[in-house]
Amino acid sequence: MAKTIIVSNRLPVSLRHKNGKFEFKPSAGGLATGLGSIYKEGENIWIGWPGNDVEDPEQRAEIIIELHELKMAPVFLTKEDIEQFYEGFSNETLWPAFHYFTQNINYDENHWEAYVRVNQKFCDAIIKKASPEDTIWVHDYQLLLLPQMLRERLPGATIAFFQHIPFPSYEVVRMLPWRQEILSGMCGADLIGFHTYDDMRHFLSAVGRIMGLSNESGYIQAENRLINVDSFPMGIDYDKFANSAKSKNTQRIAKKFLGQLDDQKLLLSIDRLDYSKGIPQRIKAFDRFLEENPEYHEKVSMIMIVVPSRAKVKSYMELKEEIDTLVGRINSDYSTLNWLPIHYFYRSFPFEELSAFYAMSDIALVTPLRDGMNLVCKEFVASKVDMKGTLILSEMAGASKELQDAILVNPNDNKGVAEAIKYAITMDEKEQKLRITSMQETIQRYDIFQWVKVFMDRLDHVKQKQLDLQSK
């Protein structure tokens, strides 16, 4: 019987070394939850890197057996693969290019070769498990070449691809010396999905101009196959966040956290450390708000969580320094014995505490300079079970296309963001409720399970359309 294979760079578990042994820590991320309904069924399986390097063949064999029990199969990466394919080409070339940070792009041929080599490694691992009639769903920018590599080996398979980060304008794509190979790689899929209509449009335009392939309403007629390209905005596990916000445990944690902050308006900022998230710009806008509105001193504070990420890359270390300096300056300029303007945490929190932060904050300040979707803003809205709270959201986040009832801002507009903070703080409860209700309806309807279903239904439809065309 045909099965479905999910493929992503990282498996939904992380391998940790502990006292010479290893253990698996499950990922509670949205994607893992949503796709759980697929890979845990029947013969289905998830293939990816377990997130640590393992050289010892005996340990590898043990890991294969343990992962098999979890319905997963590993692709082992060497230290060199991790440096050149993951930290190199994926995170120093594709990541900046696709987020419009063209000055950060590293053009390194060795990294490109590693990218080809590792995509091939993934292909080989999949071929060992796949049958010609299987469905293979490949995820994200680390594996752009994989759909075409798979197509060459399994011409009849159903292959889908989803990109979680933005797809930039043709003007950026053309800067990459490997643009032709990258687009051809993606076009090995039958269905190619993005978060937004704009990402889809950029992709179609790049395919048209670089590969000379035109499209009709998102359908590309390739040499011998019809390819569909469309937008599928990803959702969250809505009930998980709403139920957690209502739970006694979360309320207890929120009460404990609130402590002396009880009489303050709280702004929440949560991101992985990344230059695409606009963290310094956000802090500067808060600084301006404090400077222009002294009547709010001691009445408003920001909780800022920065989750450590890519800590070995120079530009990330510099960003961390910049944030530390900015926070230090603002706190030393304004704080009093009773008030700290920015509560800054450089670490991640367990889910229950994250949920408490969402539930207890009045305003979420989500202002990335670019973001494929951004799930934090959706999680915040789902957690507002008392219908009080305001979302300030960047126009540059994919989520802004759906969440039109947020206060939308341009993250580069220092004055505009400072004004939005004031507007959010003074918003009456009636307006808060109207906006939250409308956004909750959208997020609840298009949750992660619906996203998976819509995508898979479309894939079936495309395959049927291909068959209809062949039989004509």
According to DSSP, residue 157 is labeled: S
User: 161 forms bridges with which residues in the sheet?
Assistant: 138, 192
- Contacts of residue 154, defined as CB under 8 A and 6 or more positions apart, other chains included, come to 127, 130, 132, 134, 136
Tell me which H or E stretch contains 31: helix 30-39
From the list 205, 231, 348, 450, which residue makes contact with ligand GDG (rule: CB under 6 A)? 348
Q: Quick check: 349 binds ligand GDG (CB under 6 A)?
A: yes
Shortest CB 152 distance to ligand GDG, Å: 28
Nearest CA among 30, 55, 24, 101 for reference residue 313: 101
Stretch of 53-61, 62-70, 251-259, 366-374 contacting ligand GDG, by CB under 6 A:
366-374
From the list 182, 266, 375, 406, which residue makes contact with ligand GDG (rule: CB under 6 A)? 375
Residue ranges in 290-319 that form contacts with ligand GDG under rule CB under 6 A: 305, 307
The whole-angstrom separation of Cα 124 and Cα 127 is 5
DSSP-based three-state secondary structure for 226: strand
User: Secondary structure of 260-323 in the HEC alphabet?
Assistant: HHCCCEEEEEEEECCHHHCHHHHHHHHHHHHHHCHHHCCCEEEEEEEECCCCCCHHHHHHHHHH
Q: Quick check: 73 binds ligand GDG (CB under 6 A)?
A: no
Give how far Cα 274 sits from Cα of 89, 94, 257, 314, 407, Å: 16, 14, 26, 12, 23
The whole-angstrom separation of Cα 115 and Cα 96 is 16
Backbone φ/ψ region at 21: left (φ over 0), alpha (ψ -120 to 50), beta: beta
Residue number with CB closer to ligand GDG (162 or 289): 162
Backbone φ/ψ region at 118: left (φ over 0), alpha (ψ -120 to 50), beta: alpha
Shortest CB 193 distance to ligand GDG, Å: 10
Shortest CB 309 distance to ligand GDG, Å: 8
From the list 190, 371, 402, 405, which residue makes contact with ligand GDG (rule: CB under 6 A)? 371
Stretch of 4-12, 78-86, 206-214, 345-353 contacting ligand GDG, by CB under 6 A:
345-353
Shortest CB 458 distance to ligand GDG, Å: 17
Q: Quick check: 365 binds ligand GDG (CB under 6 A)?
A: no
Shortest CB 372 distance to ligand GDG, Å: 3
From the list 164, 225, 297, 343, which residue makes contact with ligand GDG (rule: CB under 6 A)? 164
Q: Quick check: 379 binds ligand GDG (CB under 6 A)?
A: yes
Residue number with CB closer to ligand GDG (237 or 362): 237
DSSP-based three-state secondary structure for 229: strand
Give how far Cα 91 sits from Cα of 112, 285, 371, Å: 12, 28, 15
The whole-angstrom separation of Cα 332 and Cα 407 is 30
Per-residue binding string, ligand GDG, 126-145, x by CB under 6 A, is: --------------------
Shortest CB 365 distance to ligand GDG, Å: 14
Shortest CB 411 distance to ligand GDG, Å: 14
The whole-angstrom separation of Cα 325 and Cα 350 is 27
Helices vs strands, H then E, count in the chain: 18, 17
Longest dimension (CA), the chain: 79
Other CB atoms within a 10 A radius of the CB of residue 373 amount to 25
From the list 272, 284, 297, 433, which residue makes contact with ligand GDG (rule: CB under 6 A)? 272
Residue number with CB closer to ligand GDG (178 or 241): 241
Residue ranges in 394-453 that form contacts with ligand GDG under rule CB under 6 A: none
From the list 173, 206, 270, 300, which residue makes contact with ligand GDG (rule: CB under 6 A)? 270
The two beta strands, 191-194 and 342-345, are: unpaired
Shortest CB 128 distance to ligand GDG, Å: 28
Stretch of 56-64, 284-292, 343-351, 413-421 contacting ligand GDG, by CB under 6 A:
343-351
Q: How many residues bind ligand GDG (CB under 6 A)?
A: 19
From the list 75, 138, 165, 443, which residue makes contact with ligand GDG (rule: CB under 6 A)? 165
Shortest CB 31 distance to ligand GDG, Å: 6
Residue ranges in 204-243 that form contacts with ligand GDG under rule CB under 6 A: 234
What are the residues binding ligand GDG (CB under 6 A)?
Answer: 30, 164-165, 234, 270, 272, 305, 307, 348-349, 351, 354, 371-376, 379
